[in-house]
Amino acid sequence: MRSLTLTAVLALASPVFAAEPSREVAPAPTVGTDLSGYHTTKDAVTADPKTFKFTETPTTAGYLGVEIVANKAGRPIIDEVQSDSPADDAGVKVGDVLVSIAGDVVLSPYAARDKLRGRAAGEVLKIQVDREGQAFELSATLRAVSKPFKLAGAAERPVLGISIAPKDGGLEILETTQGGGAENAGLKKGDVILKVNQLKVESETGLREILGEKKAGDGVTLTVKKEKSKEELDVRAILGGDRTGRTQGGGITWDDRLPRGWTKPSYKLAILGIDYPDVKHNTKVTDSDWADSLFSRGKYNGRSATGQKVHGSMNDYYKEISYDQFKIDGKFLGWVEVSKKRMEYSSGNGVSTREKTALLTEAFDKLLATKGKDALDGYDGVFFLFAGERVQTTRGSLYWPHRASFRHNNKSWPYFIVQEGGPRMTDISVFCHEFGHMLGLPDLYAKPEVPGMEGVGSWCAMSQQNPAGRPQHFSAWCKQELGWIKPMMIDPTKKQKLILAPIEDAKSECFKIPVRPDGSEYFLLENRRKTGFDTDLPAEGLLVWRVIAGRGRESQPVFLEESHGIEGINGPRSFTGSVPFPSPANSSFTPFTTPSSKSQLGGGYDVYITNIKRLRDGRIAFNIGYEFQ
C-alpha cells in the first residue's frame, strides 16, 4: 500500500509538460513563511568528514542480505535471511530483533534500513541482535550487490604524466604533469628517456605500447639521460591513470587536451592580432579598445567601438564570478600580417596538424621579428585574434573558436583563437568561454560526437553563452573545480531545514550533498538569481547539479537535474522557466520524483530535498532528510 500511495502522490506532485507554448513561470515567492528552525550556510550542521571519503573511483555498494519488518512493538525484526548472504554467513536468524548496527541503536525498520544504506562492499559490520531474550553480537562482511564487468579502456590508461618529443635516440621530456609519476620520480624538462624496463624507446608510439601492457599503480624502471649532467641513471616511476580518454603525448607540435585546473590568482595573457592580404581588421577598433574589452576593470561599459552595448570586460566577468579571487593581466601586442590569404591556412576540415600550426607559427615568427625575441616573455598564454567575421567551418578546424597548445621554439604555448568580427567587434561572451578552457574547464554543451552528452544549456558559460557581451556565470561545479567556492557538505541522512542565498552574492552559498559515501556521486545546490552577469538567465531559483566523479572531462562530468522532469538533450533547453526548483512541476527532489535523486552509480543514500520555496528576498528555503509520505 505504501508504494501505491507514493505513486498517487507523485503523479500529482510532478505534472508532465507535453509541449512548450511559452516559458513556464516558477511559483511566486512565498509570503509569510515561518523560518524558525531554518539554518543558513553560516550555521547549518555540516556532514562528518569521516563519514564521506571523496574518491575518483566509485566503490561497489554492499548488502547484508536480510528483510526487515516491524514486530508488534514496532521494533525491527528479521523476517527473512537470504541464503549464502553475508547475514547468513554471520549467523543472523529469522526472528532476531535488531538492537544496533555499527554501534548505533536502531528502533524501527526504517532506522535499520538507513544504517545499512550507503555501505560499501568489503565493509565489516558489527550487528547486535536479541534472540529470544539473549544478546548476540555478530560480525558480517558486506558483499557487492553486483559485480559488473569492465572494459579496459581510456578511463584506465596508465600514464607517466609527460609531454615528449624524439631526441638523441630517446624521448625528451618537454613538460611534466604536477603530481604525475615522472615528476614524483624526480624527472624534469630536458631529461631524455632512453629505456623503459630495459626496452629502448625512440617514439611516442613505442612508449605507449610498453605502457599499454601496464595498469595505473604499476611501477616501471626508466633509464634516463639527465639534462644537465648528461649521465645515465635508472629511476623508478609509478604510473598514474589518465581519465581524459586521450593519449599522453597528444602530438608533438599541437595538443588540444585540457590543462590541469589553473590554481594561481592571476593569468597573464598576450593578444596577437592576425591580418591577411585579403582580409584586414576593422581599423575603427583600436588596440586600446581590445585591451579595454579584455583587461580593464570597472570602465568597459556603455558602447563598444562599433556601437554595441557592453556590460563589462572579460576581466570584470572573471572578477565577479571568482568573488574577486582571480584577475587577468595582459597586453595587446598589435597586428601582424601573414603571407597567405585567410582560407589558404585552412581546408575547413581541421584534420591536419601542420595546417593548424602553420598560421600560428608564422604569426609568432612575425611578432618576434618586429618586437624582439623577448616579446612573449612572462606571458602564460596567447589569444590569437584573426581579422574578419566568423568563418563558416566545421568543429575542430583552425578557425572554429577553440583552445589548444602548440610548440614554438621548443616551448609549449597554450592559446585560444577567435575572430575579430569585422564590422561588428566580437563581444566578450565567446572570449570568456574559451578562456575557461585555458583554466582547465571542459565544454559542457552537447557535443554531437559524444553519444549521450546532453549539455547544460544556458545555465553555465562553459555551455551556450548568453550573447551580447553578458555571459552568464559558470556553474557551481566549474567554480568548485577552480577553487573559487568550497561548498558546505550536508549529510543527506540528517534532517535539517536550510536556506540558501543567491550564489552571486557570496562564495559560501553552495551546498554539497553526497549521494554515495565514497563521494563518487554528489549533488551541488546553488541558488541563481538574475543579477550582474547572470542578468540574462532564463529563470531564477535552485539549480541541482549531479556530479559523477571519474567521468572523462571530455564527456560530461556534471549534469543538470531539471525541475520540469524532461530528460536528455532537450532537458536544459525546454521549459527554461521551469528548470530551477521550485516549478509548477516540482517543489521536491526525491527518489520518487521526476527527476529522481536516486544514484546513477547504484547504492548510496536516498536523498530527500523537499518543501522547496522561493522567499521574497530571493533566498531559497527547503528541507533535507524529511521523508514525507
What pLDDT, in 10s, does the model give residues 501-546?
A: 999 999 999 999 999 888 889 999 999 999 999 999 999 999 999 9
What the block records as the C-alpha cell of 379 is 606571458
Of the CA atoms within 13 Å of residue 262, those in its CB half-sphere come to: 24
CB 565 within 8 A of CB 540: no
Q: What is the pTM of this model?
A: 0.76
Give how far Cα 459 sits from Cα of 212, 311, 418, 551, 613, Å. 39, 19, 22, 20, 20
364-387 pLDDT per residue, tens: 999 999 999 999 999 999 999 999
Task: Find out whether 533 and 472 touch, Cβ atoms under 8 Å.
Answer: yes
Residue written as grid cell 579584455: 294
CATH of domain 158-241: 2.30.42.10
Q: How many CB atoms lie within 10 A of CB 133?
A: 6
Report the topology of domain 62-144: Pdz3 Domain (2.30.42)
Q: What is the mean pLDDT of the chain?
A: 86
Helix (H/G/I), strand (E/B), else coil: 43: coil
**What residue spans in the chain does CATH classification 2.30.42.10 cover?**
62-144, 158-241
Q: Which grid coordinates belong to 33?
A: 513563511
Three-state SS at 205: helix
Question: Distance (Å, rounded) from C-alpha 629 to C-alpha 573?
Answer: 32
pLDDT confidence band for 119 (50 / 70 / 90) = confident
Dihedral angle, C-alpha 397, 402, 408, 413, nearest 10 °: -160
Cβ–Cβ under 8 Å, residues 547 and 519:
no
Rounded Cα distance, 110 and 626, in Å: 13
pLDDT at residue 172 is higher than 50:
yes
Among candidate residues 354, 375, 342, the one with its CA nearest the CA of residue 272: 375
Q: What mean pLDDT do residues 114-119 have?
A: 79
Top-confidence residue, 5 or 230:
230
Instruction: Give the pLDDT band (50/70/90) at residue 155.
Output: very low
**CA 412, CA 117: separation in Å to the nearest integer?**
49
Residue 61 DSSP code: B
**What are 318-364's pLDDT values in tens digits?**
999 999 999 999 999 999 999 999 999 987 654 456 777 899 999 99
Distance CA 64, CA 82 (A): 9
- Residues with Cβ within 8 Å of 124's Cβ and at least 6 positions away in sequence, in order, are 139, 140, 141, 142
Main-chain dihedrals φ then ψ at residue 364, nearest 5 degrees = -65, -45
Q: Which of 400, 300, 276, 297 is nearest to 347 (CA)?
A: 400
* Residue pLDDT, tens place only, 556-609: 889 999 999 998 888 888 899 999 999 999 999 999 999 999 998 887 899 999
Backbone torsions φ then ψ of 144, nearest 5 degrees: -70, 135
Q: Tell me the CA end-to-end span of the chain in Å, nearest whole number.
A: 12
What cell does 602 get?
Answer: 547504484
